[in-house]
C-alpha cells in the first residue's frame, strides 16, 4: 500500500473519530443547563428628529426596550411615548431661548412645534421652520423617565456654482461599461468643519418607459476613497459609489472653491445614454453625518460573524436617539 493511501485512510479515520467524539460530547449525560438572571435595565427615552432647513421639526418619542423584552411585531407602537412634554429652544448649553412647546399630533405619533398651540381635530397652525445657521435644542420629559436633551446645528445650503462635461459618453473596453466624465464646483464654507452628501440621478429611457434612477460613479477624489466607509463597491480594483447619498467631509479641501471630477458609469448598451444628470449636493450637521456613517457600517457588517460590531452614533444626553439637520440643492447638467 502506498504512502499516499495510508495518509488518506489515516485522515479519514481521524475525521470520523473527531465527529463521533464531538457528537458524543453534545449528548453528554452530565451536561447541565445553567439559568442566569439577567438584571432589568431602566428604560430610557428615545428621541428621533431629522429635519430639513426651512421645513419643520417632526419629533418622535419612544422608550428603549430591554434586551429580552418581547415588543411584538408592531414594536414601534409598543414603544411609542404618547404623553411626553417636548420643548424647543434656540441655542445650546446654558444659553437657551425658549421657542415653543411641541404639540402632540396624531395621538403622540409626532410632536411638532407650531407658531401657536394646536388643538386635536382642528386645522394645523403654521409650523415653526428651522433657520439655516442656527443651533437648536430639544428637551423631552415623560412620567417615569429622566428628562433628556439634544442639540444640533442647522447647516447652510451649499450651491453648486457650475458644472461641465469633461468628456462625453464613451465605451470603456477594460471595464465593459460606458463612462461620462463631468465636474462640478462649489464653495466650502470657512471657519467650520463641513459634512456633505452627493447624489447623482439621471432619466433613463428603455422599452418599458422612462424613469429616474441613481447613477453609479467613480472618482479619484481622496475625500471619497479615504472617508466613505461602508459605501464603496470594489470591482476589479476600482471603487464605485452606487448608493443614493454618499457622504464626505472637507478634511482635504477646507475653505476653498472646490471642483470635483467624477465619472458616471452605465451599462445601457442598446440605448443612448442619459440626456442630463441631476447633481444633488447636500450639507448636513455633524451629528447627522456620524449617525448615517455608523448606521451604514452597521448594515454592511450585518450577518458577518467575523466583523467588529458597529456602534450607532447618538447625541441625546441622558437617553438615546438622533437629532440632526440637513439641506441640499440640485444642479441639472446637460450631457448632450
Do residues 55 and 112 lie in contact, with contact meaning Cβ atoms separated by under 8 Å? no
Cβ contacts of residue 246 below 8 Å, gap of 6+? 197, 198, 199, 224, 228, 231
Q: Which CATH number fits domain 45-153: 3.40.50, 2.60.40, 1.10.10, 2.30.30?
A: 2.60.40
Query: What's the Rg (C-alpha) of the chain?
Result: 27
Answer whether 0.85 is exceeded by the pTM: no
Note whether 320 and 45 are within 8 A (CB): yes
Q: What is the pLDDT of residue 24?
A: 42
Query: What's the fold here for domain 160-313+321-334?
Result: Immunoglobulin-like (2.60.40)
286 φ, ψ (degrees, to nearest 5): -60, -40
Structure-block grid coordinates of residue 99:
421657542
Q: Give CA–CA dist 40/112, Å, rounded.
A: 33
Distance in angstroms (rounded) separating the CA atoms of residues 316 and 148: 7
SS3 76: helix
CB of 178 closer than 8 Å to CB of 170: yes
Quote the pLDDT of residue 1: 45
Answer yes or no: are the C-beta atoms of 151 and 315 closer than 8 Å.
yes
Q: How many C-beta atoms surround the C-beta of residue 283 within 10 A?
A: 25
Per-residue pLDDT of 148-169, as tens digits, reads 999 999 999 999 999 999 999 8
What 3-state DSSP class applies to 257?
strand
Place of cell 448649553: 93
Residue 77 contacts by C-beta under 8 Å, 6 or more apart in sequence?
Answer: none
Question: What is the sign of the dihedral through the CA atoms of 111, 116, 121 and 127?
Answer: negative
Burial class (CB in 10 A: 0-12, 13-18, 19+), 189: middle
Q: In this structure, what DSSP letter does residue 227 have? A: H
> What DSSP line would sit under 196-209, residue for residue?
EEEEEEEEEEETTE
Question: What does the alpha-carbon distance between residue 70 and residue 44 come to, in Å, rounded to a whole number?
Answer: 17
Which segments of the chain have a pLDDT < 50? 1-26
Provide the residue count of the chain.
Answer: 336
pLDDT digits (tens, 9 = 90+) for 67-78: 777 777 788 888
Tell me the domain boundaries of the chain.
Answer: 45-153, 160-313+321-334
In this chain, the answer to whether the domains covering 45-153 and 160-313+321-334 adopt an identical fold is: yes
Amino acid at each position: 500500500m502506498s504512502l499516499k493511501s495510508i495518509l488518506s485512510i489515516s485522515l479519514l479515520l481521524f475525521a470520523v473519530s473527531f465527529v463521533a467524539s464531538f457528537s458524543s460530547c453534545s449528548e453528554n449525560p452530565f451536561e447541565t443547563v445553567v439559568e442566569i438572571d439577567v438584571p432589568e435595565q431602566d428604560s430610557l427615552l428615545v428621541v428621533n428628529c431629522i429635519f430639513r432647513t426651512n421645513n419643520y421639526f417632526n419629533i418622535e418619542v419612544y422608550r428603549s426596550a430591554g434586551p429580552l423584552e418581547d415588543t411584538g411585531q408592531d414594536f414601534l407602537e409598543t414603544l411609542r411615548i404618547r404623553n411626553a412634554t417636548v420643548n424647543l429652544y434656540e441655542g445650546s448649553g446654558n444659553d437657551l431661548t425658549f421657542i415653543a412647546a411641541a404639540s402632540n399630533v396624531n395621538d403622540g405619533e409626532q410632536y411638532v412645534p407650531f407658531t401657536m398651540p394646536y388643538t386635536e381635530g382642528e386645522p394645523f397652525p403654521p409650523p415653526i421652520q428651522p433657520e439655516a445657521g442656527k443651533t437648536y435644542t430639544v428637551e423631552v420629559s415623560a412620567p417615569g423617565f429622566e428628562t433628556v436633551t439634544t442639540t444640533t446645528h442647522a447647516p447652510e445650503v451649499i450651491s453648486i456654482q457650475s458644472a461641465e462635461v469633461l468628456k462625453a459618453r464613451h465605451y470603456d473596453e477594460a471595464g465593459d461599461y460606458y463612462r461620462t466624465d463631468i465636474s462640478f464646483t462649489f464653495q466650502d464654507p470657512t471657519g467650520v468643519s463641513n459634512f456633505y452628501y452627493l447624489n447623482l440621478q439621471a432619466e433613463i429611457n428603455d422599452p418599458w418607459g422612462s424613469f429616474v434612477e441613481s447613477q453609479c460613479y467613480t472618482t479619484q477624489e481622496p475625500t471619497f476613497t479615504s472617508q466613505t466607509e461602508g459605501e464603496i463597491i470594489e470591482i476589479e480594483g476600482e471603487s464605485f459609489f452606487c448608493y443614493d447619498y454618499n457622504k464626505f467631509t472637507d478634511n482635504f479641501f477646507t475653505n476653498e472653491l472646490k471642483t470635483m471630477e467624477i465619472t458616471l458609469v452605465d451599462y445601457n448598451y442598446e440605448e443612448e445614454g442619459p440626456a442630463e444628470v441631476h447633481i444633488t449636493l447636500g450639507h448636513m450637521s455633524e451629528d447627522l453625518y456620524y449617525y448615517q456613517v455608523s448606521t451604514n457600517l452597521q448594515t454592511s457588517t450585518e450577518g458577518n460573524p467575523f466583523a467588529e460590531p458597529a456602534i450607532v452614533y447618538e447625541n441625546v444626553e441622558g437617553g438615546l436617539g438622533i437629532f440632526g439637520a440637513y439641506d441640499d440643492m440640485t444642479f441639472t447638467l446637460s450631457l448632450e
